[in-house]
Amino acid sequence: MPRECVSLHIGQAGVQIGRSCWELYCLEHGLGNDGTLKEGHDSESSDLTTLYSEASNGKYVPRALFVDFEPTVVDEIRNGPFSKLYNPSNMITGMEDSADNFARGYYTEGRKHINKVSDQMRKMIEACESVQGFLMFRSFGGGTGSGFTSLLVEELCTNYGKKIKLEYAIYPSPTVSTSIVEPYNSILTPHQTDVCFMMDNEAIFDICQKKIDIEWPTYDNLNRLISQVVSSITASLRFKGSLNVDLNEFQTNLVPYPRIHFPLINMSPLISRERINHQSYTTGEVTSEVFEESSQMVKCNQKRGMFMACCLLFRGDFNTTHINSAITNIKCRKDIHFVDWIPTGFKIGLNGSAPMVFPDDELAQVTRSCTMLSNSTAVKEAWERLHDKFKSMYNRRAFVHWYVGEGMEESEFTVAEESITELINEYEELSTACEEGGDDSY
């Protein structure tokens, strides 16, 4: 049965990540820059129709929508080497950006574009046999990423309520920022998706520097690393495998309560081309490394938190016996704590397709990788950090007039802050309950 997914790339971050993801997908599936299947590649080993639609001329077209109110970033795709890959109708731009303002993305500029975006999205969905869900890409801190995505999610909830909405979101970094008002935009966003995988640029920047030996990482380096994560998570949808995981299983296994739907991402091995020849990566080493802080894509201390759910996605030439042995060793570690009401703790995905890298990438080509998606109470640190920044500005009503001037009520700030406070309290209650229950380590 077809399991089609529709990808939605919103705002500058979402569009740039999308460009890297689709280029990597094409590489993995043996597709050329124009979507034609290269000679010698077997389309039977993969399910291209999950993310691509097949055109009448035999080309494969990404089932993806790119939306940004300012045309510069989308124009880079329109005029780039992969310009013939995409359907031009699926690239929607305006003439004014959201100016890092949630209210412009949600109210003024957003209302101008929502009908066109909804119509194009409906056409893509009607061309599918059975849509499984939506993959969304955006940043919390941008005006379009926060404001317009919120408006679009409301449309999705109204028209396609039962379809799963899975999102990859760039979370504001602790000390590095491209916008002063990131805390406002991030907290004003009503977090209505079913599962939200969070990453922050600072954590990914550190991985590029310390693991991949890139002295000054660019956005291209960061986006390519994010695309490796997205590729691993979607591999089970795109390739045949013995223990594949679909979108609904991510939600079922990673979200114990509706509010608590912000899994963290860790990945290994991440290593430069220069060092790959001097290190071995056994199943045990890959599994152990994925639990290390240096592999995290959000800045928070996972060892201070409790794991409520954990999904390990193995990709490449793994043996199930070795995987079981590696997980047994992880359970014996005293620095990894699970809540006492999770009897098994791990969801395993196994896909035989090896990961691939871009030909000119500094990241080494490996035959196996492991991606960990974990729902941990440690993410409370990230939300508390953001909440503190929000309060320090909002207590002085700094920049609020820019939001009110775009048609927003000031009371929406208070409602949004209360919602985040409730989220933090829920994490706090879970942490406290687990600690009172005694030592929950395996």
Of the residues 4, 39, 155, 249, only one is catalytic, namely 249
H/E stretch holding 102:
helix 102-103
Q: Which residues pair with 267 in a beta bridge?
A: 371
What phi-psi label fits residue 118: left (phi over 0), alpha (psi between -120 and 50 degrees) or beta?
Answer: alpha
Residue 114 burial (CB count, 10 A): 17
Which H or E run contains 77?
A: helix 72-78
Query: Among 356, 373, 371, 369, which Cα is nearest to 269's?
Result: 369
Question: Tokens at residue 366, please?
Answer: 């490996």
Which amino acid, residue 179?
S
CA distance 428 to 65: 38
Q: What is the DSSP letter of 272?
A: B
Phi, psi of 140 (to 5 degrees): -70, -30
C-alpha–C-alpha distance, residues 181 and 441, integer Å = 39
Rounded-to-integer distance, Cα 28 and Cα 269, Å: 18
Cα torsion angle, 265, 269, 274, 275, sign? positive
Round to whole Å and give the CA distance between 336 and 301.
12
Residue 332 CA to residue 347 CA, distance in Å, equals 17
Confirm whether 249 is a catalytic residue.
yes
- Tell me the catalytic residues: 249
